[in-house]
Structure 1
Amino acid sequence: MEFGIWLPVYGGWLRSLDTPTAPDVASCLAIAQQAEALGFDFLYASENLLNCIHGPGESVADAWSILAAIAAVTNKVGLCGAVKPGFRSPFLVARMLDTLSKIAERRLGMNIVCGWWKEEFDLSGVDWLDHDGRYNRAAEFLRSLYGLFQPPAVIRDASETGSDSDIEIGRAPSYGLDQSALPEVWIAGHSDRAVQMAAEWGHCLFLNGMGDDELKRRIETVQQEANSWGRNVRVAANAYVIATEAAEQARQRWKSVVTRRNSQTIDFFRKVIAKSGAAAWAALDEEQMVDSNAGFELGLIGSFEDIRQRIPKLEAIGLDRIVCQFDDPMRDAGPFMKNVIRPLRESRTIELAE
């Protein structure tokens, strides 16, 4: 199991009345350096041009600017950023990845997010398409991106270049792009189209938090689909983590969060999402929508011991990665690593040695 941290590019992750509503760039950099020192596997930066937690009146930090800054001050922690096809061209993204991989000196991750907020598309001058149309655009984006990093063979009439042979086989130009900068591709979504795209093009399917039965079903579905392509796909899921010494303490913190939920903001986003046709959020109730990606549903709220027992169960279902959101990453990530992740890693090392 790999563990990552969502960077707070929107401010706090909760739609609650006392959550910070503006991004803190300095905190993102500090969190990144702390995460690397603690031993987290990766950092994740989501891309939205409007603040999808607190509403369009609030600021948001650009994901790829943040990742570039982090790449310059870290050495090994994984970096994954979201991209919305249509907002950036495949060639622009290829150049971004090529440059950022040189800064980071490590392989990057890129999460394809098709988007669900029409106002964001309208403000950006991007055509608003229906659900299938957005996924069609994403599939074409990936085909083009792969083609840029792995140019196909081309056949041309050699007589035009004075060659003795009639036919000459060469390669399309690479435009100076380094093939090693081709990222690990994540696909975000719950729909059949998202699963199909992950199976055909992706390396990782990124899901919202959900219960065990649904999680198992989705993992089995994407693996079966990937097998039909002769591929294997990893699966990541979002989790809001509240880990404390005592289970009741964690439960009280969770109750306080949902009691302080911002119903006005939740109602606004419920209407926005309903218009989008996005499958991932369609059935969420008001308490579930306090967290932007149903993070409570993965079940990482409890004592350190509870969560140490919970994670192997998720791994047994087939989950490969957990993308963690914390109330305060600078405060909470360290105890979570010390009391949950490290003991699990040490236990796994002992098992492998026996």
Structure 2
Amino acid sequence: MPNPVRRRFLICALAAALAAALAVLVAPSSPASAHGNVLSPGSRNYGCFERWGDRFQAPEMATQDPLCHQAWQADPQAMWNWNGLFREGVAGNHQAAIPDGQLCSAGKTQNGRYAAMDTVGDWKSTTIANSFTLQLFDGARHGADYIRVYVTRPSYNPVTQPLKWSDLELVSQVGNTPAAQWTRQLSNGVQMDIPVSVPGRSGRAMVYTIWQASHLDQSYYFCSDVNFGGVTPPTSSPTSTPSSTPPSSTSPAPAGACRAAVSVSSQWSGAYQATVTVTAGSAAVRGWAVTLTYGTGQTVQQSWGATVAAGGNRIEASNAAYNGALSAGASTSFGFIASGTPSTPSVTCAAV
């Protein structure tokens, strides 16, 4: 018969080994040595971590968030390690390294850890406006050789179709940017805020981000499910409900010319977001130019859907390449964010 002391020692050792194994299965990896991810609009695995990380075994996840549920069941570490979805040695040839249908898992990187991210279905989506800010977190301060942001074409449906390279359109790009130039501090890391504009889109889509880190040939890939149609103010400024919104201002529309109407969609301390709708008159126009004249000076911080410039108390805009030609009575719109007072401007619209 074995020595009782030795037997107790063996039992305790086995128990300790089992507890350690269980901890590996269910405990989150520390983000102290984190790499990074897209926090807004949140990527698939970061979103699953954010919503369910503190209750990843909750049975209601299966019905409330079934795509996250299948991902947690497939590999919990894909969510705990939300900062590690990368490949090495791609040498910039992303399409060769990652097959169609595997873009969200980076070609089933990390021995397939993130394979569930490629599952086609109705993932929880973030409602965003046509102009939004993508927030990329760099937990290890790698910096970037470049960052590329894509949005899927209108013909693509993320609920029913696997994602292919041909589904993507490049909508924003950032060049070489050392971590010291990233603008926001988050915990021990840094954050890059990237303005993105996708005029005229509505409904479901995918935002796909490639982050080429600078410390090694290490490429990160993120799928973010979005729903175009919400109106979201800039993430860098606090929002408030104005006590009185300035009335919209509209220019007249002579025959064969155009008219413009401007309205303030949101405002906060010292700045505001405005939308300008341009409508052709009784005949088609090939292009247009809008001038807004305010009572005080204005400074444009960001714009979309037009080439916009400010000088003194005037904001001048001309059509983009894709929205200048309007048939009789047809409309298009552009928007901008400006510092200043959103008082009611005088508005002129000229067909060119």
- Is the shorter-chain TM-score for this pair beyond 0.5, marking a shared fold? no
Q: Which has the higher contact order (CA 8 A, sep 6+)?
A: 1
TM-score by length of 2: 0.21
Q: Which has the higher strand share?
A: 2
Greater Rg by CA: 2
TM-score by length of 1: 0.21
Q: Which has the higher helix share?
A: 1
